[in-house]
Chain A
Amino acid sequence: MGKLSVISRFLPVLGLLAFTSSGCNTVVHISKRFPSPVVEPLPVDIGVYYDEDFRSYQYRSKGEKWVVPIGPASVALFNRVFTAMFERAVPVENQPSSPGRLPGFDALIQPEIKGYEFLLPAASGSDFYQVSIEYRMNLYASNGEVIDRWSITGWGWSRSKFWRAGEALAEATTVAMRDAAAAMIINFTRRRRIKDWLSQVNGRELSDNAGSSREEPLPG
Chain B
Amino acid sequence: MLAALAKNRCQVSLARLNQALRIAAAPLAILLAGCVTLKIDELRQAETDIAASEAVVVLSRRDGIGLQAGETFIDCVSDTLATGNAPLRVVPERIFVDRLFPWFEPGTAPSKIEAMAQLLRRRNVAEKITDSGVRYLVWIDGTTQSVGGGGGGLACAIGPGGGGCIGLLSWENRSSYEASIWDMKHAQSAGLISAEASGSSYLPAFIIPIPLIARTQAAACNGLARQLQEFLTED
Contact = CB atoms under 8 A, between A and B. Distances in A.
Contact of A220 (B101, B109, B128): B109
A130 B65 contact: yes
Contacts of B124: 38-40, 209
B128 A179 contact: no
B44 to A, nearest CB: 25
Given A35-B98, A37-B101, A128-B65, A179 B112 contact: no
Tell me the dominant secondary structure on chain B's binding face.
Answer: loop
Interface string B182-220: 000000000000000000000000000000000000000
Interface in A121-153: 126-128, 130
A18 interface: no
A38 B103 contact: yes
Greatest chain A CB density within 10 A among B103, B107, B122 is at B107
A89 B109 CA distance: 27
Interface residues of B, number: 28
B165 interface: no
A207 to B, nearest CB: 9
B65 A178 contact: no
Contacts of A126: 65-66
Contacts of A82: none
B21 interface: no
Interface stretch (B31-39, B113-121, B166-174, B226-234): B113-121
Contacts of B100: 38
A179 B106 contact: yes
Contacts of A36: 101
Greatest chain A CB density within 10 A among B71, B99, B118 is at B118
Contacts of B109: 219-220
Interface string B77-112: 000000000000000000000111111011111111
Given A38-B100, A209-B122, A219 B106 contact: no
Nearest to B101: A35
A182 B105 contact: yes
Given A38-B124, A220-B109, A185 B102 contact: yes
Nearest to A159: B70
Contacts of B128: 38
A127 B101 contact: no
Greatest chain A CB density within 10 A among B105, B118, B119, B123 is at B105
B65 A220 contact: no
Contacts of B112: 220
Contacts of B107: 155, 179, 182-183
7 contacts: A40-B124, A128-B66, A181-B102, A182-B101, A182-B105, A182-B108, A218-B108
Interface of A: 34-40, 126-128, 130, 155-157, 159, 175, 178-179, 181-183, 185-186, 208-209, 216, 218-220
